[in-house]
Structure 1
């Protein structure tokens, strides 16, 4: 923990002392990215760079609800080959289909969904074929 600034010492010299002592201890050499070029150094300046990085690190999506649901549907279909049981496939599809039906009943503002609920039996049949041939 950093100690308090002593009375009578200027703030600048106190900060300089803290930095110098940290450098001597090697604290800066342990930082992530030490000795590496700054990422996006060649990219044009964007005043919201820090907001975009934070959202990316946190995995926050700023897509309209319908586009986020389309993306989720693509991710579910892509993940099907890795599922081990028919029950798991049907469960994931049931959850996705419920979201699609809710969106169709009461569409949120934004672009249209352009999806209809998946036929679970047809998807499971395709999953079985793919699993059998793997």
Structure 2
């Protein structure tokens, strides 16, 4: 839909025509959830930003403060290191997360305190080796 609205045509009727034309072409037929009601959280209280939060989750955006997101990323990094195929990969994973942790340690955090210090690479590698034996 890259056409421009013709001059003199009411914007609403032009948009309605674009939607009707797309519907006639079948462009809405195979959308996820077509013909089904929107999912609702029966037990949850109404949140007017529910669709924004759902879109952010679908797109992989975090709604957590940066330090809490980094805590989660650090936990995931340790898990990834434990499942890594080689010692070289373990070292790379731990060193990358340590860089991020040090950055937050030496800059004032925008949210709650991080509460982490960099991981001991050698200790993580020792644990990785022990789990492999």
Q: TM-score, normalised by structure 1?
A: 0.72
Aligned residues: CA RMSD: 3.4
Is 1:81–1:131's contact at 8 Å kept on the other side of the alignment?
Answer: no
Return closer, same or farther for 1:83/1:23 CA change in 2, 3 Å cut-off.
same
Q: Which has the larger radius of gyration?
A: 1
Higher helix share: 1
**Match of residue 31 from structure 2:** 31
- CA displacement, residues 19-64 of structure 1 (integer Å, 9 cap, x when unaligned): 8887787665533213434211634432212211221111111322
Distance 1:57 1:131 in 2: 35
**Match of residue 74 from structure 1:** 75
Counterpart mapping for 1:53-92 below 5 A: 53-92=54-93
Distance 2:116 2:99 in 1: 12
Distance 1:19 1:68 in 2: 39
Q: TM-score, normalised by structure 2?
A: 0.73
Gaps of 5+ in 2: 2-11
Gaps of 5+ in 1: 2-11
